[in-house]
Amino acid sequence: MEVLHSFVCDLCDKKLLHDPAKGHIPLGWKMKEIYLKNLLLCRICSSPGQFNGGPSIRIQDLFEKKFGEKY
């Protein structure tokens, strides 16, 4: 029987049900350190295009909304 856990993106709050037996985090999701915080990012937030020479405007905006800190 599958045991699904709810994973939530630390930036955009996207939720995904995932069976940890199939990988400790969902496929395409990544742990990433942004401004000294270790965050779980969904496939969209962790895509290489969002980190082309530093976090994109989108990432910076989401980070500011979530943590109230601007960088």
Residues that bind Zn ion (CB under 5 A): 9, 11-12, 14, 42, 45
Asked if 50 and 58 touch (Cβ cutoff 8 Å), the reply is: yes
**Please, which residue, 13 or 19, has the CB nearer to Zn ion?**
13
For 69, phi then psi, to 5°, come to -120, 135
User: At CA 43, angle to CA 25 and CA 61, rounded to 5?
Assistant: 115
**Please, which residue, 34 or 45, has the CB nearer to Zn ion?**
45
From the CB of 36, what's the least distance to Zn ion, in Å?
19
**Please, which residue, 12 or 25, has the CB nearer to Zn ion?**
12
